[in-house]
Amino acid sequence: MHWHKPQWKKYEKKLDSLSKLASGPQNSRTGKALGRMPPTSSGGFSKIMTTKFIFVTGGVCSSLGKGIATASIGALLKASGLKVVPMKMDPYLNVDPGTMSPFQHGEVFVTDDGSETDLDLGHYERFIDVPLSGLSTVTTGRIYSEVLARERRGDFLGGTIQIIPHITNAIKDKVKEVGKKTKADVVLVEIGGTVGDIEGLPYLEAIRQLRWELGFDNTLFIHLTLLPYLRGSKELKTKPTQASVRELRSIGIHPDIIIARADYAIKKELIKKIALFCDTPQEAVIPAVTANSIYEVPLLLEEHNIAELIGKRLKLGSVKPKLKDWQNLNEKIKKSKKALRIALVGKYTGLDDAYLSVIESLQIAAFHNERKLELVWINSEKLEEMDVDALKQLESVDGIVVPGGFGIRGTEGKIMAARYARENNVPYLGLCLGMQIMTIEFARYALNDNSITSEEFEEGKKRKDPEKHIIHYMPNQSEKRAKGGTLRLGSYPCKIKKGTVTHKIYGKELIHERHRHRFEVNNTFRKKLEAKGWIPAGVYQKENLVEIAEIAGHPYMVGSQFHPEFLSRPHKPHPLFMGLVKEAIKRSQ
């Protein structure tokens, strides 16, 4: 197989001559340079990294599954024994997605260090099973903020700040920082958006430059593109893919591997055509037909030897993934025929991306119990309106999940769902706001006071009654505080109380879970609630904050202040979701 090396020998000679001029490290015995010294984005010289970098771009349109493809490639490389660290570069001007609407961006995925990131990092963590950090997320807003802050400090000594080289240098530095700090064998970099988007051009220019700086054998470009199906002629068309690759080549990027997405089988003639017109080896054009499950994608890609292709191209040696775990998981998925109806009660009903990690966590737990999740979307505002269809839906399910969220809209409907679960012994899992909802509902019932509420639900009101706030602001939080990046974020320890349902399903006393919230249970209510059967099953001992609550005498009514969905993995379902699914199965039988 032949991959293009444009003028590479000529460039290597140029680098050799430049390295002689650099004051780089030398072998004290021979006096020879220890390594070639290509120019860095900061203008100095450094040895070529041993870390390999794979850049994934998308063409024709968005929502093709670029994140799934990146995660699947990462899973294959990790299964081959390589240390893989993925990162996502988003071209939007927001500093992070923390304050973006779920309608526009989907869920916000939180890492251990508290970074609020794109939902694709959730795919990366689930597939590759590696905890990520803020190093793995970059946005244009963040890049511009950092470059402009440096300009204000005078770091550029009065120079004119431009897209090239200052913004592109900052992008390149972020990529190389991941390789340097993590010491990964492979860094997978997904470029958000679609080739041709004006906001994505600095990223494409940056990765074009990185090929020259890092070395041909250390960089690989993968382009994911669509083959649209024309119903009239009953055929898939390659012309949009050709145009997308031509756009890439016009700015100096030649895809080493093309992944062709389609909803129908891709004939070999089309693979040959793409290879011919896109100037890519035929073996490196990978068909990717829509799969029955996203967890099938690693196996489907490996059917076309993508790991071996990458290994040869990057000179990684023998790359042979061990896929037993993925094969076992897909066997479980195939056996999961019997439906299990679980309700998701929220505001953004029907929008999978808004609750993506929650849905995947439920799917995974269902698969491991040989059940097929039948998700029942229930709009909490419809429950408030006593909508007949919404009420019938609630009565038809075997389990209820109330996920996280912000604001008062739809909260009384969620409280109705919690009351139904409590009164009818329906398994219930409350996540973040869902735990607070469960606590408010129980307090209203047990203390016979329907005015009990959350301080969050009274934001903006002139008259407030703090004595009714069973949920209130945490210390150092307030209504006037800026919204972005100010929540309680990241991983915190939690001590679990022995003898509880929670302790039984976790099987240990100390856990670490990820958070994203600014309100907590008001401890002044705790004694009253505990006397009535509300159990603080898990506590953050340093600040005496309730992390997990459950209702005594109920088969499974559990709420977590943290977000367990961020730690659920395809091969390791999260205990709280497994607990819910197991109890829901019992109820369904």
Q: How far apart are CA 109 and CA 514, in angstroms?
A: 10
* CB-CB contact of 226 with 240 (8 Å): yes
Q: How far apart are CA 559 and CA 580, in angstroms?
A: 11
Q: Please count the residues of the chain.
A: 589
Residues contacting 461, CB < 8 A, separation 6+: none
Q: How far apart are CA 223 and CA 280, in angstroms?
A: 11
Specify whether 61 is catalytic: no
Q: How far apart are CA 129 and CA 229, in angstroms?
A: 35
Q: Which among 61, 72, 58, 78 is positioned nearest to 258, based on CA atoms? A: 58
Quick one: tokens of 487? 């929540």
Residues contacting 323, CB < 8 A, separation 6+: 76, 79, 298, 299, 302
Q: Which among 373, 379, 371, 378 is positioned nearest to 343, based on CA atoms? A: 378
The active-site residue out of 107, 432, 456, 520 is: 432
Specify whether 563 is catalytic: yes
**Residue 388, Cβ neighbours under 10 Å: how many?**
9
Residue 515 CB-half CA count within 13 A: 24
The active-site residue out of 520, 550, 565, 583 is: 565
**Residue 154, Cβ neighbours under 10 Å: how many?**
8
* CB-CB contact of 135 with 177 (8 Å): yes
Q: How far apart are CA 52 and CA 184, in angstroms?
A: 8
Q: How far apart are CA 244 and CA 224, in angstroms?
A: 10
Specify whether 304 is catalytic: no
Q: How far apart are CA 179 and CA 173, in angstroms?
A: 10
The active-site residue out of 213, 563, 574, 583 is: 563
* CB-CB contact of 188 with 70 (8 Å): yes
Q: How far apart are CA 327 and CA 338, in angstroms?
A: 20
Quick one: tokens of 255? 């895809």
Q: How far apart are CA 243 and CA 240, in angstroms?
A: 5
- Give the SS3 label for residue 133: coil
Q: How far apart are CA 262 and CA 472, in angstroms?
A: 50
* CB-CB contact of 330 with 296 (8 Å): yes
Q: How far apart are CA 241 and CA 249, in angstroms?
A: 12
Q: Which residues are catalytic?
A: 432, 563, 565
